């Protein structure tokens, strides 16, 4: 079996991928540009891709029998044509739940606890000049009794809800599909969630129901001081509207995903004036060491199930 990894760098070089060698001869590329994809997969039996697009042109005249997506989303592979060509496509799911939720809570505490401000206060030598033992000029709050609104109550959303309850938070949710009937938490409309939640966390897929789901008209109704997190997909929040609102109203935003990644220089979020209200991270939610280790093991299992 010839195995080709198209974008090894996306898995991180602290993760060992030698497990794939037991299934065949492995050729690994750190990154693969579009014009190189067809050539690199032509003679492969198995292809691993995270974000490299594999469409009709790439699959034509190839020897590919299995495409393993090293992620949950499958939009980078033409699934219809793969089926026509009798090429099996397998993804992985559920590997990153704890990682995403941990990053979400890191963002929550970043804003709630104001640790960045207090660390700077000490690092800049101000504490030793204080006339009293403490310094509490930047108010911070407890999570107890705060309302957490979850948009998208799938596996990750439920995990965040459970951990929010451990902090004695009230949890409500909005179902983006309209099909979720989870009775553990109160289901509310999107407008009610945005108007009443102290913390709002997005864990939904990007589709026709969620594209620009959050826009200027509904986000302007958020509570003053509310925290908005997006660890779902870029495009669920209209980025132009969000950038405008951050500079108009005191809301705080933790954004791990944007509409086009890597983020473009022209992205309006990079031009926000009130930068203390915005925490941008480069799509790290999925990527704890443990999550990436699980991901590689699950991809290996997909290969094993295919071969044997």
Catalytic residue among 203, 233, 277, 292: 233
Residue 283: active-site member:
yes
Each residue of 191-201: pLDDT tens digit?
999 999 999 99
| Entry pTM | 0.95
Residue 233: active-site member:
yes
Catalytic residue among 21, 25, 261, 264: 261
Cis peptide before 262 (omega within 30 of 0): yes
- The DSSP code sequence of 70-92 is SSS--TTB-HHHHHHTT-EEE--
- The DSSP code sequence of 189-220 is -HHHHHHH-SEEEE----STTTTT-B-HHHHT
The pLDDT score that the predictor gives to residue 30 is 98
The pLDDT score that the predictor gives to residue 285 is 98
Each residue of 246-264: pLDDT tens digit?
999 999 999 999 999 999 9
Residue 170: active-site member:
no
The pLDDT score that the predictor gives to residue 231 is 97
The pLDDT score that the predictor gives to residue 138 is 96
The pLDDT score that the predictor gives to residue 280 is 98
SS3 187: strand
pLDDT < 50 positions in the chain? none
* Nearest to 90, CA basis, from 100, 103, 106, 77: 77
The pLDDT score that the predictor gives to residue 167 is 98
């Amino acid at each position: 079996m010839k195995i080709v990894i198209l974008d090894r760098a996306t898995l991180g070089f602290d993760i060992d991928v030698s497990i794939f060698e037991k299934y065949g001869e492995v050729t690994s590329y750190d990154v693969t540009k579009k014009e190189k994809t067809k050539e690199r997969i032509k003679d492969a039996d198995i292809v691993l891709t995270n974000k490299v697009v594999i469409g009709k042109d790439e699959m034509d005249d190839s020897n590919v029998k299995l495409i393993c997506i090293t992620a949950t989303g499958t939009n980078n592979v033409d699934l219809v044509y793969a089926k026509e060509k009798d090429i099996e496509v397998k993804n992985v799911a559920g590997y990153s739940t704890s990682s995403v939720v941990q990053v979400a809570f890191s963002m929550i505490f970043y804003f709630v606890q104001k640790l960045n401000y207090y660390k700077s206060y000490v690092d800049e030598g101000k504490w030793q000049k204080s006339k009293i033992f403490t310094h509490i000029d930047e108010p911070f709050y407890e999570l107890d009794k705060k309302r957490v609104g979850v948009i998208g109550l799938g596996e990750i959303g439920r995990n965040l809800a459970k951990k929010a309850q451990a902090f004695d938070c009230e949890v409500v949710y909005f179902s983006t599909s309209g099909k979720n009937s989870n009775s553990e938490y109160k289901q509310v409309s999107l407008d009610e969630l945005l108007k009443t939640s102290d913390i709002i966390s997005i864990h939904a897929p990007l589709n026709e129901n969620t594209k620009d789901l959050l826009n200027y008209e509904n986000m302007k109704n958020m509570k003053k001081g509310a925290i908005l997190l997006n660890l779902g997909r870029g495009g669920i929040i209209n980025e132009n509207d969000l950038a405008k609102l951050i500079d108009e109203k005191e809301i705080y935003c933790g954004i791990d995903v944007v509409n086009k990644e890597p983020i473009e220089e022209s992205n309006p979020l990079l031009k926000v004036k009130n930068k203390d209200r915005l925490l941008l991270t480069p799509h790290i939610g999925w990527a704890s060491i443990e999550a990436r280790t699980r991901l590689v093991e699950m991809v290996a299992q997909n290969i094993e199930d295919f071969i044997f």
